[in-house]
Amino acid sequence: MAERVRVGVIMNGVTGRMGTNQHLVRSILAIRDEGGIDLGDGRVIWPDPILVGRNPEKVESLARRHGIERWSTDLDACLADPEDSVYFDALATRVRPRTVAAAIAAGKHVYCEKPVAPDLDSALDLARRAHAAGVKNGVVQDKLWLPGLVKLKRLVDQGFFGRLLSARIDFGYWVFPGDDVPAQRPSWNYRRADGGGIILDMFCHWRYVVDRILGPVRSVVALGATHLPERVDETGARYRADADDAAYAILTLEGGVVVQVGASWCTRVRRDDLLTVQVDGTEGSAVAGLHDCWVQPGSATPRAVWNPDLPQEHDYRQDWERVDADTAFDNAFKAQWSLFLRHVVAGDPFPWDFLEGAKGVQLAEAAERSWRERRWVDLPELSR
């Protein structure tokens, strides 16, 4: 029987939808259900969570519902316990610098949701604190493990595209204002004072997706918008939605690749998925969604002829070939959790650290500055 290596994990802020579903149930508990993470040397990593929250009824109910014995409302006491070596933070972004800094000061290895902080200075400060303390650190960058984007990355690595030319990221869906149909997202997402806004929320994703798949982002020009200035909150009360609910940007990459980005919570979907990424190159193109990826090599590219006087009879979708999966894909959040826990226990590489997380905040901050000042903004290299 394999030897269990217990890793105590302080999970703060997991009573919310994302924290409960993706991080607790589909990651930590799923790892336990599978018997732990096999290290290949007769040992398995066994995460032992303690749930932390401000509301004792909510956190106790969550723990009982999933058979978790340990829960607390005293974060300081949890951080003081040497038996728990990892701190996970899924709190609101605006309070994360304080709680993560406290965890670093307590000597905990830290893993947290993105954005790592609400502004670049705070993000870099956390990266420097973690480096100086010698604690392992990481930021959730889940979309890198989505099956569609994994397939897209493989195509880039295989040279399928030839010379990369451009890409287009199209993300969004209609988030109901809350009048007749309840909104699918919390109301704080649409209040600037509470850290809301699609630029801060989603451009952190675009940074690591573009950096890791296509190449380093070097500059951005962006426009944000608040298309729906009034919404209804969870209590049924109307409120002023003053955060950006849509954003439109162009990124330039090292080497001259151009990426168009559209992100909106005020759009209706008529595409293959809620997120699609199209990449065009001299030798072929591909379109990836969350799970699937389609390709069109140059040899299969039809000759398109512009003639607005005749109805379009050619079905361009039929010219694309679906990329078959050659492996089973795990939950994206669980995949990164497993890598982080291996990093903590066995020292396996984990490049998605706080400095990488700071790059996402840098892009969001640059996009907001571009919008405010109506100009291109460069993104210099970051260092601790």
Single-letter residue type at 267:
T
229/239 Cα distance (integer angstroms) = 9
Supply the DSSP string of 136-191, one letter for each residue. -EEE--GGGGSHHHHHHHHHHHTTTTSSEEEEEEEEE-B---SSSS--SS-GGGG-
45/31 Cα distance (integer angstroms) = 9
Q: What is the residue-level pLDDT of the chain in tens, covering all 384 positions?
A: 789 999 999 999 999 889 999 999 999 999 999 999 999 999 999 999 999 999 999 999 999 999 999 999 999 999 999 999 999 999 999 999 999 999 999 999 999 999 999 999 999 999 999 999 999 999 999 999 999 999 999 999 999 999 999 999 999 999 999 999 999 999 999 999 999 999 999 999 999 999 999 999 999 999 999 999 999 999 999 999 999 999 999 999 999 999 999 999 999 999 999 999 999 999 999 999 999 999 999 999 999 989 999 999 899 999 999 998 778 899 999 999 999 999 999 999 999 999 999 999 999 999 999 999 999 999 999 988
Specify the CATH number of the domain 3-142+332-352: 3.40.50.720
268/173 Cα distance (integer angstroms) = 5
184/74 Cα distance (integer angstroms) = 30
Give the tokens for residue 305. Answer: 């002829």
Give the tokens for residue 204. Answer: 């952190």
Topology of 145-323+362-373 in CATH? Dihydrodipicolinate Reductase; domain 2 (3.30.360)
Is residue 238 within a helix (H) or strand (E), and if so which, with residue range? strand 238-240
Single-letter residue type at 104:
I
Q: Provide the residue ranges of all domains of the chain, joining segments of one domain with +.
A: 3-142+332-352, 145-323+362-373
261/4 Cα distance (integer angstroms) = 45
Location of structure tokens 């006087």: 309
